[in-house]
Structure 1
Amino acid sequence: MKNVKTEFAERLQMAMLAAGYDPKPAVLEREFNQRYYGKPMTLHGVRRWLLGQVTPPNDKIAVLAEWLKIPPHELSFGAELPKQIEQRRKEWEVSISYQEREVFEAFLNLPAEQKKIVREVILAFKRSLR
């Protein structure tokens, strides 16, 4: 089973290939450090990204994504995540009725303290149904 770091490494390698770069540490180190204004990455550091041992922090992912011309979230999480989120949103919108939607909108317009009370009541009902 793959982990998050391994999957990131695969996406990074594929993005490099798609952008016309050899997915080698020396290439990654050179190209990244030309674009990043913080402390430069070492060859060892970028090799760990490519091997799936470490994932870079968000500021470095943003630089990688800009260089490779892909959305940062796609580099971090893959292209499937936005599709899954959109699918769940569509399922949600289809599954609720007009009356439920009206209740949700009324809830969203309540002051924070009243929202807290309504939330507690709903959660109490949920617990009682177990």
Structure 2
Amino acid sequence: MPMFKSTVAEERANFSERLRSAAGAAHVPLGPTDFARAFNVRAGEDSVTSHAVRKWMVGESIPTQGKIVILAAWLGVSSAWLRFGEGEAQSLSATVMSEAAISTADLAMLRAIASLPEPARHSIRDIVAVMVHNFSAKNSN
């Protein structure tokens, strides 16, 4: 039985190391409160507390598979690598923007826009297109 406990402890420590490494590479804050806040914007109803994040970061626990999938997508790594250290770390091609590149505030704004009815979303897309065009024209002069 003690051998099993040692293996579980090692598994948690290894997960913690991979999580901190992926978060650092994605320039995600490692503080439990900031990390939890940013995670929760992405997680919807699968939110976590800063206490749970602290336990992940120090190797005291491993999140559920659903949370690992969210973490992996956010940090731009494969869920198999994040959970078990298997395969390649990167899950996204270089041409795909990782959610880690989107600020928490911008992601919250995108979620709010997505909750609006289609006509309102269409209007917002039109406004953004005009602003991008005007900004591009102004900076190309």
TM-score by length of 1: 0.57
Gaps of 5+ in 2: 1-5, 89-141
Size of the aligned set, in residue pairs, is 81
1:37 aligns with 2:44: yes
Per-residue displacement from partner, 1:42-69 (whole Å, max 9, x unpaired)?
Answer: 1111111101000001000000000001
Give 1:75 shift.
0.4
Q: Is the helix fraction higher in 1 or 2? A: 1
CA change 1:60–1:29 in 2 (3 A) is: same
The correspondence for 1:82, drawn from 87, 91, 96, is 87
CA change 1:19–1:36 in 2 (3 A) is: same
Displacement over 6 Å in runs of 4+: none
Cα distance in 1 between the residues matched to 2:27 and 2:49: 22
The one-letter code matched in structure 1 to 2:77 is: I
Cα distance in 1 between the residues matched to 2:46 and 2:77: 23
CA change 1:11–1:55 in 2 (3 A) is: same
The one-letter code matched in structure 2 to 1:63 is: I
Counterpart of 1:25 in structure 2 is: 32
Counterpart of 1:55 in structure 2 is: 62
Gaps of 5+ in 1: 84-130
Q: Is the 8 A contact 2:12 2:59 kept in 1?
A: yes
